[in-house]
Structure 1
Amino acid sequence: MDLNYSPEDDAFRQQVRDFLAANLPPDLRRKVRGHLRLGKDDYVRWHRIVAAQGWAAPGWPVEYGGTGWNAVQRHIWDEECALAGAPPILPFGVNMVAPVIMAFGSAAQKAHFLPRILHCDDWWCQGYSEPGAGSDLASLATTAVRDGGHYVVNGQKTWTTLAQHADMIFCLVRTDPAARKQDGISFLLIDMKSPGITVRPIVMLDEEHEVNEVFFDNVRVPVENLVGKENQGWTYAKFLLGHERTGIAAVGRSKRELRFLKALALRQQLGGRPLLDDPVFAAKIAQVEIELMALEVTVLRTIAQEDRAPGPQASLLKIKGTEVQQALAELMVEAAGPAALPFDSALLEGRHGIAHDSADEMQAAPLAAYYFNYRKTSIYGGSNEIQKNIIARMILGL
């Protein structure tokens, strides 16, 4: 493939930049670039701004509200949004459950759910992991028993991101306990307001309520909310995970954080000169930048295969993408030094009136929380160890 951008690509990039300059609210830009916490209203506001432009689902087919952009244009869009400091369009609806509904859902499911996902009328969360089924997802124990026109769901999901805001959850459930564990799983769409659902927060090391436990106690789900065929959910889950792992690479976001790291290292002093001039620290930055450049080329190769769903190569992107993200977070904390230690919840939530000695301290103060949060990236979406097993088996044939 040609890795040089064409004049048409450059013109498209300028169009995206013009849109972002005119429409990205300054308060959202400040939060994202400053590593501050985003609330539900922040995510929804930006999603609806982009949806009004018709750009909320670049990867969707045009008939469902997609843009018709090619792979390079979608990459440029993601990159420019990240560099500008735009909040991400949360993936659970647009990039995860929507492709499953398009590929395997009924006509009624497509007509009802896809427009609501496109315009952020429903906030979705993912019901995959359980206390005894994380990377070994096929060991899940949450059950769904057919009872007339409903399934009755019982069990527990954990690490459910932003479930406290969710209207809907796409959920893997066991519908045939006698079958081989991968063969007895189904894919259900469940209304989070259903009686019997309890959401309990899990507060993490960064003191943020981002993930949750979700309990199902005799929750009745209409049979019409089964996606595809009963006991075929493992096929749909693998299809979804390919999309999720490709997105986890987050090249644009890492480029933005690399810029932040270089600016931070330029301001920090070591022996009377900028830390960025220190050959040891500069070598660390160069190493992660080289890895990021190689990752971007691999992402472009993967997304250029527009006629196929992401395959096992998505595991490569997931591994290297998360390693780059963690390396950047570590170097930020190293560059900030003691200034990264303050753990100020009011600052992280963007509340005004926070006193710090300098603008540098204002930028450095959220970095400890950022570092802690990014320790998870090599685990979610299937741990990196599991991804290496997939690569060994499906790419290397071992």
Structure 2
Amino acid sequence: MDLNYTPAELSFHQEVRDFLAENLPDRLSKKVAAGCHLSKAEHEEWHAIVNRKGWLASHWPVEYGGTGWNAIQRFIFEHECALANAPRIIPFGLSMLAPVIIRYGTAAQKKHWLPRLLEGADWWCQGYSEPGSGSDLASVRTTAVRQGDHYIVNGQKTWTTQGHFANMIFCLVRTDLAAKKQQGISFLLVDLSAPGVEMRPIVTLDGEHEVNEVFFTDVRVPVENLVGEENRGWDCAKYLLTYERTGVAGVGHACALLERVKRAALERTQAGVRLIDSPSFAARLAQVEIELEAMKTTNLRVIAAVDGGGVPGAESSMLKVKGTEIRQELTALLRVIQGPYARVMPDANADLSSPMYPGGPTNVQSGTLNYLNQRKLSIYGGSNEIQRNIIAKAMLGL
């Protein structure tokens, strides 16, 4: 494939930059640049701004309200948004569930759920992982037993990101206990306000409430909330996971983080020498930049294959492994730059008027928080160890 941008693509770059310059609230971009968590209202504000432009559903076909963009346009949009420190488009509903509904859902499900996603009427979270069933999703134990026009759901999900913001959850549930692992699973949409649903917070290493555990006790779910065929939910799960793992690579965010590291290393000095000129630091920085450039090319190839009608397989696992490792290394480099300021929160006596790198005291506070938070990148979406097994089996025949 030709990796040079066409004149039309270069023009689209500028169109996206102009949109962001005119519409991205400064207070939101500052919070994103500082590595701070945004509130639900702030995420919804940005979603509404992008939706008014008609750019919210970048992965959807035009007939369902999407942009109809090709792979390069989607890459350009996500890349420019990351460089501008725009809030990310929350993927659970728009980029993960929606493609599943478009491919496997009924006409009625498409008509009902897709417009609500664009309007912001529903906030979705993902119900995949369970205690003991994280990377091995085929071992899920949450059950759904059909009783008339409803399924009765019992079980537990965990590590449910932004579940406390959500009103709906898409779940993998076991509908046939006697079937082989993958053959007895179904894909179900559950209303979190239904009787019998309980959400409990999990506070992560960085002290934030970002994830949760969800309990289901005799929860009644209408049969029409089944996506695809009963006991064939594994098809939906595999299809969704390729989108999740490709997205977890976070190419645009890694590029933005790389620029932040470079700017910071230009200003930080050790013994009178700029840190970016330190041989050991420069070697680490060069290595991660080379890996990022290679990943950008691979990412374009994968999403171009999707545009051609394919579904990313082991390639998405490659992106997931390399993308998460790159972002973790970049957050580690930021902590090196911060030196003694690399702490969760500054001391009461710290001189916050003299920041260690561009961005000021807010970044001093958030550097270690970001580092700790992003330790999870190589675990969720299927741990990197599992991804390497997938690559070994699917691509190397081992």
Q: Which band: TM-score by shorter chain?
A: over 0.9
Q: How many residues align?
A: 390
Task: Give the equivalent residue in structure 1 for 2:127.
Answer: 127
In the TM superposition, residue 65 of structure 1 has moved relative to its aligned partner by 0.9
Distance 2:223 2:68 in 1: 33
Pairing 1:74-153 to 2, within 5 Å after superposition: 74-153=74-153
Task: Give the equivalent residue in structure 1 for 2:354.
Answer: 358
Distance 1:364 1:279 in 2: 24
Task: Give the equivalent residue in structure 2 for 1:159.
Answer: 159
1:309 aligns with 2:311: yes
Distance 1:68 1:293 in 2: 26
Distance 2:351 2:64 in 1: 48
Distance 1:235 1:37 in 2: 33
Distance 2:378 2:273 in 1: 35
CA displacement, residues 295-326 of structure 1 (integer Å, 9 cap, x when unaligned): 00000111111111222211010000001011
What amino acid maps onto 2:162 in structure 1? L
Task: Give the equivalent residue in structure 1 for 2:71.
Answer: 71
Distance 2:141 2:15 in 1: 48
**Partner SS, residue 330 of structure 1:** helix
What amino acid maps onto 2:171 in structure 1? C
Pairing 1:320-331 to 2, within 5 Å after superposition: 320-331=322-333
CA displacement, residues 185-235 of structure 1 (integer Å, 9 cap, x when unaligned): 000000111111000000011010000000001000000000011000111
CA displacement, residues 118-138 of structure 1 (integer Å, 9 cap, x when unaligned): 222211000000001011111
What amino acid maps onto 2:240 in structure 1? L
What amino acid maps onto 1:43 in structure 2? H
Cα gap change, 1:344 to 1:142, in 2 (>3 Å): farther
Task: Give the equivalent residue in structure 2 for 1:341.
Answer: 343
Q: TM-score, normalised by structure 2?
A: 0.96
RMSD: 1.3
Task: Give the equivalent residue in structure 1 for 2:381.
Answer: 381
What amino acid maps onto 1:86 in structure 2? A
Cα gap change, 1:336 to 1:344, in 2 (>3 Å): closer
Cα contact 2:344–2:369 (8 A) shared by 1: no
Distance 1:107 1:69 in 2: 23
Q: TM-score, normalised by structure 1?
A: 0.96
Distance 1:153 1:258 in 2: 45
**Partner SS, residue 366 of structure 1:** helix
Q: Once the two structures are aligned, what percentage of the paired residues are identical?
A: 58
Distance 1:379 1:234 in 2: 21
Distance 1:342 1:383 in 2: 26
Cα contact 2:346–2:364 (8 A) shared by 1: no
Pairing 1:180-191 to 2, within 5 Å after superposition: 180-191=180-191
Task: Give the equivalent residue in structure 1 for 2:234.
Answer: 234
- Once structures 1 and 2 are overlaid, which stretch shifts more, 125-134 or 274-283? 274-283
Task: Give the equivalent residue in structure 2 for 1:277.
Answer: 277
**Partner SS, residue 343 of structure 1:** coil
**Partner SS, residue 92 of structure 1:** helix
**Partner SS, residue 151 of structure 1:** strand
1:243 aligns with 2:243: yes
Distance 1:242 1:344 in 2: 40
In the TM superposition, residue 344 of structure 1 has moved relative to its aligned partner by 6.3
**Partner SS, residue 165 of structure 1:** coil
Cα gap change, 1:211 to 1:342, in 2 (>3 Å): closer
In the TM superposition, residue 358 of structure 1 has moved relative to its aligned partner by 2.3
Task: Give the equivalent residue in structure 2 for 1:350.
Answer: none
**Partner SS, residue 227 of structure 2:** coil
Task: Give the equivalent residue in structure 1 for 2:320.
Answer: 318
CA displacement, residues 346-383 of structure 1 (integer Å, 9 cap, x when unaligned): xxxxxxxx982324351222111100000000000000
**Partner SS, residue 183 of structure 2:** coil
1:56 aligns with 2:56: yes
- Once structures 1 and 2 are overlaid, which stretch shifts more, 258-267 or 295-304? 258-267
- Give 5+ residue unaligned stretches, structure 2: none
CA displacement, residues 313-348 of structure 1 (integer Å, 9 cap, x when unaligned): 110100000010111011111111111114269xxx
Task: Give the equivalent residue in structure 2 for 1:348.
Answer: none
Cα contact 2:158–2:214 (8 A) shared by 1: yes
CA displacement, residues 94-137 of structure 1 (integer Å, 9 cap, x when unaligned): 11010000000111110010011122221100000000101111
Distance 1:97 1:274 in 2: 47
- Give 5+ residue unaligned stretches, structure 1: 346-353
Distance 1:192 1:344 in 2: 38
Distance 2:104 2:158 in 1: 25
Task: Give the equivalent residue in structure 2 for 1:296.
Answer: 296
